[in-house]
Structure formats: C-alpha cells, structure tokens
A and B are shown apart, each in its own frame.
Chain A
Amino acid sequence: MKCDKCEKQATFHITERVGEEAQWEELHLCEHCARDYLSKPSEPESQSSMASALAQHLKLGQTADELARMDRQKCPICGISFYEFRHQGRLGCPHDYVCFEKQLMPLIENIHGETLHTGKRPRRAGHDIDKQTRLIRLRRDMRDAIQAEDYERASELRDEIRSLDAEGSDEGREPLVS
C-alpha cells in the first residue's frame, strides 16, 4: 500500500476517531510522513488549531462524563451542539456566547488574555439582544412549520415576526426583514 501523502510504501496505519459516535478515519503513511503527522498536534489551519486548543483546555480538570455532557449541550436558538462547535471552530449564532458561556470564557481568555471588550461600541445597538435572538428562533420555527406543512402555525409565526419587526422600526432602524 502506498503512503497517503507521498509515493513511498506505507508502513504506519493509524486510526483516528473523527466523529461523535463511532466514526473512524484510517490513515496509511510511510515512516517519514507518519513522524510528521504524529508530531503535529493537529492540522495547521487556524480553525482546527483553535478547536484543538479548546479540546486541550477542556480535557484539563474535566471528567469524561462532564466532557460528554458539555458536548451534548445545544443552543436553544440555533441548535448547534457544543461538540459541533468544538470540531468546526465556528459558532452558530450570537446567543451561543450566552448559552455556552461557561465553556467559552476560559477559551476566550486563553486566546486573548482578556475577557472584557474595551474598544468601540455601536451607537445604538446592544439594547435589544433578546428581541434579535427571538427573531432568529421564530424564523427557524417558521421554516420547520413550513417543512411540516403546518401552514396555520407558519402564518402565526410570520405575523409574530412581522410585529416584532415593526416594533424595531422606530428611529428608522428596523431589523433585517427577509
């Protein structure tokens, strides 16, 4: 068998766990590439190195049970699980910063050395985060209702979205309407 990364004979066969459940990825590498692969903590991309920094951080002081429980936790607004974030390095919505606060704050401190923003502030934002996340959730519910062909529910949700949108239109700054 040839090495996955070069033309040499593969002498190392590595099995990596890649998924939440029993998903495995097999790697066949020659001695040289295997040494490179094993000596690197993860791929060089910022995304995965961030995810691995996070994984490292979480492993400290957490039991396997606690970790598994953290991983299963989901954001009620966008539905992303902490596991999903941990592996892809991207959050699903602004509310994740609130609902995963316990997990994220140590990570943020690790990355930036600080946890408090001291720079620019939007002149008029920040005042109604609740309403914004409600809009995200309502839009998602409406989509689900349409998919389930529950059109009555979908039209109720649409009205609710519209009335929320209308509330925001004071000072000529309405939220984004699709």
Chain B
Amino acid sequence: MVKLEELAGKCGEWLRGSGPHSDIVVSSRIRLARNVADFPFMRKCTGLDRASIERSLRERLGQIAGWENVSYINVNSLDETDRQFLVERQLISRELADADGSRGVLVDAGEKFAVMMNEEDHLRIQVMHSGLDLQGAWERINLLDDQIEARATYAFHERLGYLTACPTNVGTGMRVSVMLHMPALVLTRHLERVLRSLHRISLAVRGLYGEGSQAMGDFYQISNQITLGKSESELIAQVAEVAEMLIEYERKARTYLVENGLKELHDRVSRAFGVLCTAQTISSEETMSLLSSVRMGVNLGLIRDVEIPTVNKLFIHTQPAHLQKLRGSPLKTADRNIERALYLKDHLRQRPQDEHPENN
C-alpha cells in the first residue's frame, strides 16, 4: 500500500500549472459514475456485499495492462486525518471519506486519475488535467472506462444509459468540471452577475471542494448538471464554451484593474505577499485569500521569483491534514497556524538570490 507521507511531499500533475489558460484555469476534471450490474446499489448493500465489490473490483482492475503504477488506498483503514488528506488532494470525495465500511481508491502515480470504490456508486472514475484540457481528460477517462468495462459488467439500460444510485446522474453518469481562479471578477464585483447567468443554462457552480463547499481563494468550479439526453462530447462542449466565456471575462477584469488601478492592485498583491512571507501564525482561510492575490500578482507579472506551480502547491499543502502529514504529527488548530506560517515562509521566501546570501 502506498505511503501517504510519500504523497504529501509531492504534487499531483494537475497542479503543475501548465496547459491552456493555466493562469485562470487550474484544472479540468471529468468523472464517470458506474455500477456493476450484479450487485445492489450502495444503500442496499450489506457489509458483505461491500467487501465483495471492493475485493473483486480490486482484483479485476489490478490486472489492467499499464496500471502497474496504480496504488490502492484502503480508505476504511485510514484515520480521519489521512482521509481528510486525500480529500484535500481531491483524490476522494467528502462522501467517501465520511462513509463506513469497505471502500477505497485506486490512484496512479502522477495522480492523473483516481477510481473510487463504494462511494455513492460502486465506481467513480475521475481524471484531472492541468489547465483547460477537457478533450485530453475525456480521451483518458474514455480509455479507462473501456479498460474497466472489459473486466466488469456495468449496469446499463437501453434507453436510460448507465444506471446510477441517484437519478440525477443517470445516462452518461458524467460530470465535467472546470476549476477557475477568478480573483479579478470578484474584486470588480462582477462575478455574482456572471454566475447567476450560469444557472439559466443549467450549469452548476461550486467552490474548491465540490458540492456545498464555499468558494475559497476565489476558486470556482463550473460543471454540467444534466447527464441524460446529451452525448459526452456535447456535455463537454457546453462546459468548455462557458469556461472560455468566463476566462474572457476574467481577463477583461484583470486588464481593467491593471489599466485603472495598477497602484492599488500592486499594493494589494504586495501586501498579501508580505503577510504570507512574514506572518508568525495564520489561518487556512486567510492563507487562501492572500494566496489568491499572490497568484494573480504572479500571473500579471507584479510578483517575480515565485512560480505558479509553487503557489498552486501552497493552496493544497497549507490545508490542515497536509500540514500534519508534512510535519509528521497531529497538530491542534493554534499549532497548525504556526506551522502554516513557517511552511509559507520557507516556500515563498526561497528566492533565487537567497541561495547565495550576502553578508549584510
């Protein structure tokens, strides 16, 4: 079994900050909900059923060629911090973390994909790519789905498509999400109006951690709500089209800020950077909000010597479970805030010139 401590120091490839529009789009994510045909859905599964599904799927999926670098994480055996750690990394959902009984997740070495077992559906396949790359994500997940389907019989209905525990996912079982960083639209107070218009075209907007989560650090996730009646490529095109529209709005808002209030913007960004570099104790919320300003500052060339992948990484690594894993011991809130400040200092102050410190 994979050591979570080893994961902690690393980053999923989706955080590497590359790909189209990666200054605004953090990641493109697709998930497919699938159930095997010969077991009841989760809520009617006995403990024995859950164990059989987990064991049998693990065995079958373990045989897939090219999955040699895929590790299985038995979520049922993890303590709360470790489960939270996987949620922070976006490898599992809150729901899987909080559930009981046999359940787990298969993760490939680059964290490009994850396959949850015994979540709301027997299988939740997820692919995450850096930047706006829904086509690439679809090609990968379509292949994974074929590989899994060659080894397990899915519950499928001639007219209704892939059958899911909740009728809101029936049909394609697909949710396409794009995570956008839109600090300038928030700052210029245009975001709310833009987001309201999304509901009219039946796209959902969520925060960083999916359903019910608040928008932290100016990150917003847009995704399709409908899963039936449209093909996968139509659903992808719909989300991509809206993502591109939002990118354009965010760019316009950034240009507006630069042209009409560069001094204020520069001041705001520099202050945020200053606090992150010098704070002695800092909460997760404050960190997210300041990192958001810094991220925009780096993208607009107002802060140099900090790379976007570093900022992306800090959003994840400064969260409670990550800090505790990186530190190697459980920490209370007050201690976490101190540890967080230290971690930020270490990673943001390490500028090229610091490597050859002059005597002063």
Contacts of B151 in A (CB 8 A): 173
Interface size, B (range) = 35 or more
B64 shortest CB reach to chain A, Å: 13
Structural contact, B57 and A94, CB atoms closer than 8 A: no
Contacts of A135 in B (CB 8 A): 38
What is the interface size of chain A, counting residues whose CB is below 8 A from a CB of the partner? 53
Select from chain B the residue with minimum beta-carbon distance to A101. B160
Structural contact, A94 and B35, CB atoms closer than 8 A: yes
Structural contact, B170 and A136, CB atoms closer than 8 A: no
Contacts of B212 in A (CB 8 A): 44-45
Given A112-B226, A114-B228, A123-B149, A90 contacting B166 (CB threshold 8 A): yes
Contacts of A29 in B (CB 8 A): none
Select from chain A the residue with minimum beta-carbon distance to B163. A94
Select from chain A the residue with minimum beta-carbon distance to B149. A122
Name B160-180 residues within 8 Å CB distance of A.
Answer: 160-163, 165-168, 170-172, 174
Tell me how many residue pairs across A and B have CB atoms closer than 8 Å.
167
Select from chain A the residue with minimum beta-carbon distance to B233. A119
Structural contact, A77 and B167, CB atoms closer than 8 A: no
Can you list 5 A-B contacts with CB-CB less than 8 angstroms, sorted by A residue number?
A114-B226, A119-B174, A125-B149, A140-B40, A173-B150
- The residues of A with any CB-CB pair to B shorter than 8 Å are 44-47, 50, 77-80, 88-94, 96-98, 104, 107-108, 111-126, 128-129, 132-133, 135-136, 139-140, 143, 168, 173, 175-178
- The residues of B with any CB-CB pair to A shorter than 8 Å are 35-44, 46, 48-49, 51-53, 55-57, 60, 120, 142, 145-146, 149-163, 165-168, 170-172, 174, 211-212, 226-232, 235
User: Given known contacts A111-B226, A114-B230, A116-B229, what 12 new A-B pairs fall within 8 Å (CB)?
Assistant: A46-B211, A50-B167, A88-B43, A92-B41, A97-B170, A114-B228, A118-B231, A132-B37, A168-B153, A175-B37, A178-B51, A178-B55
